[in-house]
Amino acid sequence: MLRQIIRKEVRETVRDGRFRWGAALVGLLLFLSLAAGFAQRQEVARAHASAEAMSWAQWLDQGDKNPHSAAHYGIYVFRPVSSLSFVDRGVDPYMGVSTWLEAHYQNPFEHRAVQDTPALARFADLTAATTLQLLVPLLILLLAFRSFSGEREQGTLRQLLSVGVNPRKLATGKVLGVGVALGLLLVPAALVGALALLMAGPGGGAVANEGLRYLLLVGTYLAYFGIFTALAVGVSALAPSSRTALALLLCFWIGNGLLAPRIASDVARSQLSLPSSLEFQASIQGDLLEGFDEHPPRELRQAILRDSVLASYGVDDPAELPFNYAGLSLQSGEEYANLVFDRRFGDLARRVEGQLELHRRMGFLAPHLSVRSLSMALTGTDPAHHERYAAAAEGHRRLIQRILNEDIMVNSRFGETYIADGSLWSQIPEFEYKGPGAEWALAGQGTAAAGILLWLLVGGILARVGASAVARRA
């Protein structure tokens, strides 16, 4: 009986003009957004790789100079683009693409794509994730809002129940029927996405386990669509008319996809505000100049270091030391600055993570927030992946400074003008980044996953309650 119900629902859905036109429009938008996302991803990946190779070549060819001057010359590194970003670009346009690895300072990432985009154009920036998170659910609601109420209004529902059709099996069949019909649209799209992933390649090491991530992403969106299908069938069974069912479902769609993200952002901003760029830079400079906690100010710290080193070697002048004290002093300054950077950037990262966790918790009220968080995490375009790359780049910056400062200590004398040649620049290892796997990406997404599971449970209960109500009314 269940198989017959599913077959009937699929046949009626496919014959419905709303499905044909709606699926054609949504499918066209989905395939176009996938194609545009893939083309943009490939172009940006090539540009980043080319720019980073050019910066590395400039570093190697910078000529003879003092190592500390070379440290200020620095190297630019460019964040690799995830091979799955053609599905969901996440926060990539807002986070910047490159940073300058120079002496004394941890620079933020610059050249955010959103800065070059007019405000109005951002609303027309349709991605595959936008289509999947907003338009496909709308198509589901438009297809399923009459699943019970339409048959009740036509008088066919009473006939079905009178011949012994179980209401719960009927509800299950309607949910699965809509799902099978949607598969005519979603299965080809998933295959196109898989093909694009194969063509995209490894993505410059931005993420690992791309295949597993893609499978988990498909499963996440299927669960999301299941929520809307079950809710639509349940509301259709409980609503007194199709018009009421449609109005209720559209209100839910608007609140879930349009209002909830804005409300969540406002709540997160009010609960955990972030410092402005000027405030953040001022806090770093204050710690560098004035010290913090048990750490003395920079100048006092350098004076203490100088006196300690001279006393330990039993000399009165840095020139009498068996190494160049200038290199040690530079490295000590770097290590103190690193403490400041770890403190301030760490606090900023914790605040951002706190805001994101508030978004995920509000996913218990709106599943769109949960699926958006999971989608960005699985595609490697969320703030956590950016922060991981930034930490790796900062680690490489510190390695460069240590190598150059140690060269000054060992190969020069205090007070002399020291010039190094290209052999020193080639001792600096080229920066390589290996992105995390799927397990790491999902480590902080427990709240979002729980939100999806909760809404699946709510949808299933609503459909079950609706089926029971249909039986009682009959």
CB atoms within 10 A of CB 325: 22
- Nearest CA to 379 out of 33, 30, 83 is that of 83
Please report the pLDDT score of residue 118 as a whole number: 53
Mean pLDDT of 337-366: 94
Please report the pLDDT score of residue 119 as a whole number: 47
Mean pLDDT of 93-104: 91
- Which distant-in-sequence residues (6+ apart) come within 8 Å of 79 by Cβ? 48, 95, 96, 97, 98, 109, 206, 386, 389
Mean pLDDT of 263-287: 92
Q: pLDDT higher for 159 or 81?
A: 81
Q: Flag whether pLDDT at 153 surpasses 70.
A: yes
Please report the pLDDT score of residue 121 as a whole number: 45
Tokens, residue 305: 């270091």
pTM of the model: 0.91
Q: Do 334 and 401 form a contact (C-beta atoms < 8 A)? A: yes
Rounded distance between C-alpha atoms, residue 320 and residue 316, angstroms:
8
State the maximum Cα–Cα separation within the chain, in Å, rounded to a whole number.
105
DSSP-derived 3-state class of residue 98: strand
Please report the pLDDT score of residue 322 as a whole number: 92
Q: Do 65 and 420 form a contact (C-beta atoms < 8 A)? A: yes
How sure is the predictor about 122, in pLDDT bands with cuts at 50, 70 and 90? very low
Please report the pLDDT score of residue 117 as a whole number: 56
Give tens-digit pLDDT for 270-279. 998 899 989 9
| HSE value, Cβ hemisphere, 13 Å, CA-based, for 372 | 26
Sign of CA dihedral 138, 139, 141, 145: positive
Tokens, residue 320: 């009498």
| HSE value, Cβ hemisphere, 13 Å, CA-based, for 23 | 22
- Domain ranges in the chain are 2-473
Rounded distance between C-alpha atoms, residue 142 and residue 146, angstroms:
8
Please report the pLDDT score of residue 114 as a whole number: 60
Mean pLDDT of 7-30: 86
- Nearest CA to 207 out of 353, 385, 50, 375 is that of 385
How sure is the predictor about 291, in pLDDT bands with cuts at 50, 70 and 90? confident
Q: pLDDT higher for 452 or 7?
A: 452
Please report the pLDDT score of residue 203 as a whole number: 61
Rounded distance between C-alpha atoms, residue 268 and residue 266, angstroms:
6
Q: Flag whether pLDDT at 215 surpasses 70.
A: yes
Mean pLDDT of 116-137: 74
Q: Mean pLDDT in the chain?
A: 90
- Nearest CA to 474 out of 149, 161, 5 is that of 161
